[in-house]
Amino acid sequence: MPSNSLASQAKSFRSSLIDWYDANARDLPWRNAPSTYKTVVSEFMLQQTQVKTVLPYFAAWLEKYPDFKTLADASEEEILKSWEGLGYYSRARNLHKLAKEVSAIPAGELPTDAKSWLRFPGVGPYAAAAICSISFSDPSAVVDGNVVRILSRITADESDYKNSTDAAKAYRELVQTLLNPAHPGDHNQAMMELGATVCHKQSPTCLLCPVRVHCQGYTKGIAETLPRLAKTKFEEVTVNRAWIQSPQGILLHKIPANAKRMKGLHELPDLAALSIPVPKTKPHLTRKRGITKYRITERIHTITPQALPSSLPPDHIWAKPSEIPKLPFSGPHRRWITELLST
């Protein structure tokens, strides 16, 4: 468990942190002329995704969907297309649903506290606290992997945690105690900024740290070993896919609306779904990727159209190469198709 000696130094911790943030905050587009809409979009995009990846998507998104209403009126296919390559597509669908709900709320009645925002699609405790503290100065502290890393180091907490969600629970109370009640949004952003730019997972730049004087992990020389999280156990998975071209186009699978993940996106079809046995020959393309706890080997085989069953299984379609750019795909499938079309 984290020691609570830091709580007694809350005042000086807050003031060192906020002074540093005022002088060092990165110039990010959602911080310029901030609005609730910009904050919501940035918080959705930044989940599981680095700032440098988000920047071009955020700019294009604001250009195409400048407010909740424009986003609410767009089609899901359009939205998935705009999100293409960012991954974790449920974020895009939830953002779309949230825009519809927010647009339907009469002016002046949008809730401003984190608890009320939990009712919106895709908004968990972290996003609710971030959005409401930044947009409405709601005194809700954010706690995520960055915050856990900083505080476990400052408190030299050598406890073993199952994962960062487990650790986040242990830190919730301390994080709330440390929150700057006068500037909760800036305080939360300062914690995130510190985690992203100074208190790195590997090689934290402690000599530049505004809260080093509070950091017991630094003093004891153990900061980089913290937090102590159990290693993720990865599962190896192999997927065999088909690359089938015919005069009608390229065979694709459109992931149905009742699927758990990636609904509405297109992908290269799975051989098993087409009832085609895995060829013994070397695949045309082999690519590896990771999704959450899965380490996936994707093997893409060239198959002749004659091998297909007499009628296609549901949700499989032919798409002409000229139609491919307009359809939504996940980033990897788009890359593989581009590669396959160029060979």
The catalytic residue among 43, 84, 193, 298 is 43
Would you say 194 or 327 has its CB closer to ligand SF4? 194
SS3 244: coil
CB within 8 A of 233, min separation 6: which ones? Answer: 293
Tell the smallest beta-carbon distance from residue 19 to ligand SF4 (Å): 15
Would you say 150 or 337 has its CB closer to ligand SF4? 150
Would you say 217 or 269 has its CB closer to ligand SF4? 217
| Maximum CA extent, the chain | 74
Q: What is the spatial distance between Cα 333 and Cα 103, in angstroms, rounded to a whole number?
A: 33
Tokens of 239: 């997927």
* Best CA proximity match to 169, nearest among 154, 148, 185, 187: 148
- The residue type of 199 is C
* Best CA proximity match to 316, nearest among 271, 260, 261: 271
Would you say 168 or 198 has its CB closer to ligand SF4? 198
Tell the smallest beta-carbon distance from residue 227 to ligand SF4 (Å): 11
Instruction: Give the C-alpha distances (Å, rounded to integers) separating 125 from 53, 96, 114, 141, 230.
Output: 24, 19, 7, 10, 23
The beta strand positions in the chain, using DSSP E, are 160-161, 228-229, 235-243, 245-246, 249-254, 266-267, 285-291, 294-302, 316-319
Burial of 324 (0-12, 13-18, 19+ CB in 10 A): middle
Kindly state the helix (H) or strand (E) to which residue 188 belongs, with its residue range: helix 184-197
Residue 213 · residue 16 · CB < 8 Å: yes
Tell the smallest beta-carbon distance from residue 150 to ligand SF4 (Å): 5
Please name every residue paired with 235 in a beta bridge, in sequence order, or none if there are none. 294
Contact set with ligand SF4 (CB under 6 A): 150, 153-154, 198-199, 204, 206, 209, 211-212, 215, 217-218, 223
Tokens of 222: 């153990």
Tell the smallest beta-carbon distance from residue 71 to ligand SF4 (Å): 37
Tell the smallest beta-carbon distance from residue 215 to ligand SF4 (Å): 3
Tell the smallest beta-carbon distance from residue 209 to ligand SF4 (Å): 3
Would you say 132 or 226 has its CB closer to ligand SF4? 226
Would you say 122 or 204 has its CB closer to ligand SF4? 204
Peptide bond into 204 cis (omega under 30): no
Q: Does 43 participate in catalysis according to the annotation?
A: yes
Catalytic residues: 43
